[in-house]
Amino acid sequence: MALVDGLEPQPQRGIVQVALDRDALLPLIGTLGTLEPERAAELFDHDSLFDLEAWTRLECGSGDQVEVAITYQDGRTHTATVRGGELVRLPLAGGERAAALHLAPNKRARVGNAELGAAVVLVGDDAPHGGPVGLVIDAREHPAAFPKAEKDRIARIERWYTAAHTVMRATDAGGAAQPAPTAAPDAAAPATPNDEEGR
């Protein structure tokens, strides 16, 4: 969350993939690229970056909401309603690409550079792929706005922190997502073999 808030990405279609150069290979790949461009491209594609998450940024004010439906490769479709100011985290395992992501804002909300109220459907290569963090739907105000009172500021940050560390247990289409019983592992934790193998 700190990385995304610091960079303030503004993806055209509303979604950005967040990855980590955990082995510090990018400088070496850049150097190799001046000597063996094809080998450098191969290393970059397969060995350089570890996918952490897919992050969906919404323009969604107080009182607005976006209906989210993610369809997995096995045909399951899960839904969630994300309201303005909220941060919701859905499961999407490492190595797994969603079959489709459907984002339907109300008439005053926006996804990426789409028109206000326009639905966005991401399929195929445009669909998000996951990691230890999964899929994050971010409907907070950008740049982040904080109350003047210290107590209120702390409460807001605590809500965001809890949401960023809690995977929502998605329900079948037609039901709202619910928090999972336990918090998900921290995104900064080393990946395990299961993380990279996906579902």
**CA 3: distance to chain centroid?**
12
Please give the pLDDT value at position 55.
87
Residue 89 phi, psi dihedral angles, 5° rounding: -120, 120
Amino acid at 29: I
Domain ranges of the chain: 9-20+52-170
Nearest Cα to Cα of residue 80 among 153, 152, 174, 146: 174
Q: What is the tens place of the pLDDT at every residue in 28-47?
A: 889 988 999 998 888 887 77
Segments of the chain with pLDDT less than 50: 170-199
Please give the pLDDT value at position 180.
43
d(CA 70, CA 121): 10
Coil/strand/helix, residue 95: coil
Please give the pLDDT value at position 20.
81
Tokens 């996918």 correspond to: 51
Please give the pLDDT value at position 120.
92
DSSP state of 108: T
Nearest Cα to Cα of residue 91 among 185, 10, 160: 185
Please give the pLDDT value at position 99.
95
Please give the pLDDT value at position 193.
39
DSSP state of 163: H
Stated pTM of the model:
0.71
Please give the pLDDT value at position 131.
87
